[in-house]
Amino acid sequence: MKDSFRSMLERRANDLSVRLLKKSELGELSDFQHGDVVDRTPVDRDLALELSAKIRNEIKACLQALERLDAGTYGICLVCGEQIPEKRLRVLPFAAKCVECESLSAHAISGQYAPVRLSA
């Protein structure tokens, strides 16, 4: 089972790197084509930057997950130490936290202190 996650992660990191590469090539190309239409490029550029930052983060997450596989700590939540359900790992093979800890840190990062939900 760990081997299948390893190949999933390797493939994913690879695919993402290819996407990142293509994206930067496309970016250069469109800059060239819209050379004098300066007004509308900043938004596109911001979006492209945001997207490539996301892709880069995901590549990093994949590589870190591969390191955890090597270290034997893969699939264990970094925050609470609980086993991350295999169902979650199949969807997000690079997940480093369980759903609860992930949603907690997502709120912390965005700075939005949502009212505590007791339903979970």
Q: Which residues bind Zn ion (CB under 5 A)?
A: 77, 79-80, 98, 101
- Residues whose CB falls within 8 Å of the CB of residue 102, separated by 6 or more in sequence, listed in order: 95
Structure tokens of 57? 């983060």
Q: Between residues 8 and 104, which has the closer beta carbon with respect to Zn ion?
A: 104
CB–CB of 96/78 below 8 Å? yes
CB of residue 90 vs Zn ion: minimum separation in angstroms?
A: 18
Q: How far is the CB of 77 from Zn ion (least distance, A)?
A: 3
9 or 98: CB nearest Zn ion:
98
Distance CA 13, CA 93 (A): 11
Nearest CB to Zn ion, comparing residues 19 and 88: 88
